[in-house]
Amino acid sequence: MDFVTTLRILAGFALRFSALAALFFTVLLGFDPHALSAAQKTRVPAQAEALYAQGMQALQRGDLLAAETAFEKVLRLAPGSAEAHNSLGWVLLAQEKVD
């Protein structure tokens, strides 16, 4: 299995994992995932969410350039988006664009 295929599979599990992680932190660690800082409570613009979804779809298709472009646009709209930073990092790694 090549790296891009692995990346596609991971992208498919990303949304399911976030729900499981919240459950893990709440039940096992007693951490309330909803107790966020003021910066984290700001709502991501709907346009950023749509662009992130487009990036994930591009990633699942194996279109790394489109995914990179979408995640960069998300970060211009919502610079604090951890998901977009993470996804962009994986895309750049898959393209071997690392420093």
pLDDT tens per residue, range 12-55? 655 455 555 554 445 545 555 555 555 555 567 899 999 999 99
Q: C-alpha angle 24/18/93, rounded to 5°?
A: 120
Q: State residue 59 phi and psi, 5-degree precision.
A: -60, -45
pLDDT of residue 2: 72
CB within 8 Å of 83: residues ≥ 6 apart: 14, 52
Q: Sorting pLDDT into bands at 50, 70 and 90, what band is 88? A: very high
Look at 42 and 65; give whichever has higher pLDDT.
65
pLDDT of residue 17: 54
Mean pLDDT, the chain, integer = 77
